[in-house]
Each structure stands twice: as structure tokens, then as C-alpha cells.
Amino acid sequence: MQVLELVPCCCFPNGVAGPSLISWQIPPNNVGKVIGKGGSVIKGFRTSYPSLSIHVSSGGMLELGGSSDKEEAERCLKDIKNLIGISESSESYATNQEASSIDWDNLKARSAEAQKVRWSKCPPLIKDFYREHPDVSSLTEDQVSKIRSENNGIEVSSFSGKDDILMLNPVFRFEHAFEAYPEIMTAIQKRGFKNPSPIQCQAWPYLLKGLDLIGIAQTGTGKTLAFLLPSFIHIDSQSIPREKRGGPNVLVLSPTRELALQIADEVKKYEYRGIKSVCVYGGGDRKAQVKVVTQGVQIVIATPGRLNDLIESGCIAVESITYLVLDEADRMLDMGFEPQIRKILLDVRPDRQTVMTSATWPPGVRRLASNYMKDPITVSIGSLDLAAVHKDKAIIFMSKKAKVDDYSSSLCLAGVDCQSIHGGRDQMDREQALLDFKLGHVRILIATDVASRGIDVEDISHVINFDFPNSMEEYVHRIGRSGRAGKKGSSISFMTYRDRPLAQGLIDIMTEANQPIPRTIKSQCFVYKHAQKSTKAQGVYGYQMDIMDISIHDDYLGIQTLFLGNLKTSIQLEQLKSIKGYPHFT
């Protein structure tokens, strides 16, 4: 039997049959370039290589064959590649070899080693400056428990859940923490403070010890001073002279311009051994901020956006930071600053001391703490008593900018001195409004939630939630504007049928604060839960308003109107208690 050798053949559009010399897969985005409009390009190649058959399949496979030799086919292929911008040197032909797998463990190890080498060049860091006062070290367990209980229920725990954490006794006088620092004691005495606040009692021992700390407490409880005074000692006690440290030592990140400016004001009140600071924030004079930074500072107070801007432009370096504060961390995450924070922390030395403060404890804050803190101690403070007092400064919170402008204008036309603040006003106008309110030039500040944090005015006696906030976390921050610096304050909130979903959260907060819960709040909570269970319910027991709902809503509007009318002469809050329907207030 005769054996025939089969030679691969192709039949091309021009009818020429012959062996397939070269096959090449055209990149998908270049198939059109090879064919050309109406096939003009490929026709040109066929004209240039008459003895070569050229065909492009529907899948983009280029077949070169015919009676020509392989060298001519290779020249044609080279011309086609040059046409679409592919050079021989940049192309790698497909092979049957499997792609090598990535050794991720090796990459991680190399990255860790590179980081270790990078930070090994940093100067030595001293963090432990705490010497326990004899009055503190002699406290018994019962005495410690009593001090913590009397200071709004101080609780100390390990963030990681460890049982064998370092338990430091709380201090109960300023000299227990700062007896060795007379300049700080003098500054505290000038401010007229008698005793440390609850968060300060327990935070100072841990911060002076050099440990990472998470402080969870309501706004207005002295958290700023809790992390600020230890930072002064941290800066001054390092072994390397300030001018040789390569930049600032303390970085305080805050969510808003108002809060950043407030912290900067606190730094100025406690001048300590020539320590300089700068406040950098969006909306301020960038050139002036850069000028101060380049002149040399030890403390940087910043909002994440502006700080990232200065880092990227080379105006400031954070490699020298050894004491980091994330103030109002929950608010920063709510405002979407987490990517900026993570980017900043990439360039901060890992053996730093980190402090995080927050009024709430959501999952996002816990995630941030687990990623960027080392075995932090958690110090949490219970709710403060918000018993009524009779002062004459109030913040009225409203939901919309237009509403703030409308009511503030109406009060001014009625002869009531007031100021307003919201995100739509210019930065200079906002700062002036806060200054007028702080100095007492006006007794009433009407604001949106932009003022729920960052305003530290000690004599605010009343917070009025004219429009109930959208979340209970924001409610906590709003009412935290009153009763600051150890004083007491009062909060009044209007809750309408639209706010029923938040009734249970309000009940929980009032229960924790040992406050009586109005019957109407309980009924609103019951009605909402009942409506959730029954989609067929209507009227008061569902989502569709009936005559009773409309009547209740009209009563609320009437009470709100009367409240603003009372402001024309003074803040007569006692008069509101005689109004029918007052139990609707909380």
C-alpha cells in the first residue's frame, strides 16, 4: 500500500490554493486597521504581494499562504505589524509554557523587609513618661470602682478582648498627672478647672504611659484636652533636638474646619516651651498655611483633604510624626475620608503612638482601629446627665440650608439678634458667626448639622432640635453641644410622625441616661413597629395620614412657631412646658 504525505492547504478568497505559511492572531482592537474601510488596506497588501494569498477570518486570524516562500510571508507580516504599531522586539509569541505563578508570600516578606529598612533609619522614640502618683497607686480596688462609677461610669477594656491588659488607676486631681510639669499646671489653673473630666481621669495615665488609646465619649467631655496635654510632654521629652527631627511630631486629623480651628485655639491657650502649631484646612489661605509649615512647627492640626494636598505637593512630610490623633473618627468615616486617612498613614512611622476619639462605636471605626493601632486600650464614658439649667445661649438645628436662612432672617427682622451657619456660607462668614456666638454678641445660633461637631462654647445651655436628626449618632453629637466643660445643659427636640423610625433609638438613649420617657414617644414607637408588621394598616397605625395624623402634625408646627415667637424677647423655655402637647418634646 502506498502512503501519501498530507500537506496542510488553505483555500483563499482569490481562489489560489496552497500551503499555509504563517498564521497570526490580530489583536481585537486592530482588526479594523488591517482590513481597512471597505477592505482597502488588505487589498493594498495583496497588490504589494501578488504571489501571496492573504486572508483574515471572522475571528481576526490572519492567514498567509499561497505559492510564495515563507520569507516573503514574514516580510508581509512585518509590514502589517508596523502598520498597527507592533514591533518585533515588543511582541512575544504564544507558547505552550504555563505562566509562572506569583509567590505572594515572598512578595509580602520582601515588602515587610523593605518597610523595616525604611523605618530603621528613624531616630529613637520615647513614649513612656508616666510616674504614678502615690495618691493614685495607693487606691484600693473598691476606691477605683467608686471613682469610675462617680465619673459617669468609666469603663476600661482591651480592644482585642485580652484579659491580661495593663490596668492603670484613674487620676482624680490634675497634679496626679502633671505634678512634674509646672508650666502645664499653671496653664490649667489659669483656665479655672477644678478637677479632670471623666475621660481625662482615665486617659491621661495610659497616654502618658505611651500606649495606644481609643476614647469613646460624648462630645464636650474634654477629649481634646485629654490627648493634647500628653502630646506636649511627648514633643518636649524626645532625645533628638526639635530642629533635627525633620518635621512635626504631632498630627491631629479632624473631620471639619470648625473642629480643626477649635483644636488650634486650645493649643494656643496652653503654650508650652515654645511648641508651635499650624492648622491646615480647605477653604483657608493655602499660601499662609504653607508658609507657617515651612517655618517649622511641632503640631499639625488638619483636615484629611488639605493635608493630602500639602503632602502631594511636597510642602509637608509626615515621616517624622510620632504622636497621631484621629479626632471624631466616626464623623471622618461618615464624611468619606477613609481613603485619604489610609493614604496619609502609609507615610507615618509604624511605631508611633496613636489616639482615636469617637462619640459612637460603629463597625467602620473598629476596622480603622484594628488596622492602624497596636493593642489599644478602650476607655468609654457613659451618658451625661442633661438636667435642665437656665442660661441664655441656644443652638437651633434645622435640616436645610434654605430653612436656616429663612428663619434667621425672620428673627433678625423681628429684632432678635442671632447668627446662622451652614455649608453654603463662605468660610469667613462661618468663622465670624461662630465668633459672635462664642463672645456672646448673639445668644442664638441657627445651624444645620455642620455645627453638630467642632463648636466648643462652654456656656451653651440649650440645644433645640427644631428638625429631628436623620440618625441617632447625629442626635448624640447635637445634644453634646450643651453641657460642656462639666456643666449641665438641656436638650429639646421636636419629633413628628416622620421621625417614628428613630423613636426606639431615642428611647434607648433616654433609658441609658435615666430620664423619664414621655408616653407619646412610646406610642410613636409602638405605632411604627405595628405598621412595620402590617402593611395593610392605614392612618395612625400605618403610613397613610388620616385626620388625626394631620391634627398632630399641625400641633407640632404650631408649637414650633410659638417657640420661635418666644425668642423675640428671651429664651423662655419654661413657658413651653405649659403648652398643650409639650410631652411631645424630649
pLDDT mean over 412-427? 84
Q: For the chain, what is the radius of gyration of the CA atoms?
A: 35
Q: What are phi and psi of 325, to 5 degrees?
A: -125, 125
Q: Match 459672635 to its residue by C-alpha cell.
A: 436
| 269 & 399 share domain | no
Residue type, position 366, single letter = R
| Three-class secondary structure of residue 271 per DSSP | coil
| 371 & 408 share domain | no
| Three-class secondary structure of residue 252 per DSSP | strand
What's the pLDDT band for 559 if we cut at 50, 70, 90? Answer: low
Task: Kindly give, in sequence order, each residue whose CB lies less than 8 Å from that of residue 57, ignoring residues fewer than 6 positions away.
Answer: 63
For residue 279, which of 242, 316, 233, 313 has the smallest C-alpha distance?
316
Considering only 2-11, 14-23, 73-82, 508-517, which range has the smallest mean pLDDT?
2-11
Q: Which helix (H) or strand (E) holds 342?
A: helix 338-345
| Three-class secondary structure of residue 126 per DSSP | coil
The b/e string for 307-342 (b: 16+ C-beta within 10 A; e otherwise) is: bbbbbeeebbebebbbbbbbbbbbbbbbeebbebbe
Q: For 184-206, what is each residue's pLDDT tens digit?
A: 999 999 988 989 999 999 999 99
CATH number of the structural domain spanning residue 35: 3.30.1370.10
Mean pLDDT of the chain: 81
pLDDT mean over 30-53? 83
| Three-class secondary structure of residue 354 per DSSP | strand
What's the pLDDT band for 572 if we cut at 50, 70, 90? Answer: very low
Considering only 11-25, 382-396, 514-528, which range has the smallest mean pLDDT?
382-396
Query: In this structure, is residue 44 part of a structural domain?
Result: yes
As given in the structure block, the three cell numbers for residue 520 are 407619646
Considering only 135-139, 258-262, 321-325, 558-562, which range has the smallest mean pLDDT?
558-562
Q: Angle at the Cα of 319 (from 318 to 325), degrees rounded to 5?
A: 55
571 has pLDDT over 60: no
Query: In this structure, is residue 200 part of a structural domain?
Result: yes
As given in the structure block, the three cell numbers for residue 220 are 464636650
pLDDT score at 573: 45
From the DSSP assignment, how many helices (H) and strands (E) are in the chain?
23, 18
As given in the structure block, the three cell numbers for residue 244 are 533635627
**Entry field: residues in the chain:** 586
337 has pLDDT over 60: yes
Residue of higher predicted confidence among 134 and 80: 134
Task: Specify the number of domains making up the chain.
Answer: 3
pLDDT score at 415: 72
CATH number of the structural domain spanning residue 398: 3.40.50.300
Sign of CA dihedral 230, 152, 369, 210: positive
pLDDT score at 533: 67
pLDDT score at 345: 94
Task: Look up the domain containing 467 and give its range.
Answer: 394-584
14 has pLDDT over 50: no
| 345 & 476 share domain | no
Q: For 531-541, what is each residue's pLDDT tens digit?
A: 776 644 444 44
| 468 & 400 share domain | yes
Terminal CA-CA length for the chain: 106
| 498 & 467 share domain | yes
For residue 257, which of 222, 305, 225 has the smallest C-alpha distance?
305
Q: Which of 83, 105, 122 is the last residue of a domain?
A: 83
Q: For 358-412, what is each residue's pLDDT tens digit?
A: 988 888 888 899 999 999 999 998 743 333 333 468 899 998 999 999 998 888 8
| 205 & 354 share domain | yes
* C-alpha–C-alpha distance, residues 184 and 206, integer Å: 18
| 228 & 166 share domain | yes
pLDDT score at 65: 82
| 545 & 441 share domain | yes
pLDDT score at 483: 66
| 364 & 403 share domain | no
| 298 & 245 share domain | yes
pLDDT score at 88: 55
Query: In this structure, is residue 446 part of a structural domain?
Result: yes
Q: What are phi and psi of 510, to 5 degrees?
A: -65, -35
pLDDT score at 551: 46
* C-alpha–C-alpha distance, residues 177 and 229, integer Å: 10
pLDDT score at 372: 92
* C-alpha–C-alpha distance, residues 586 and 578, integer Å: 15
pLDDT score at 174: 96
Task: Kindly give, in sequence order, each residue whose CB lies less than 8 Å from that of residue 351, ignoring residues fewer than 6 positions away.
Answer: 119, 122, 125, 322
pTM of the model: 0.55
Residue of higher predicted confidence among 136 and 518: 136
Most confident range (mean pLDDT) of 316-325, 431-440, 442-451 is: 316-325
| 42 & 71 share domain | yes
pLDDT mean over 332-337? 88
* DSSP annotation of 535: T
| 415 & 368 share domain | no
pLDDT score at 432: 84
What's the pLDDT band for 89 if we cut at 50, 70, 90? Answer: low
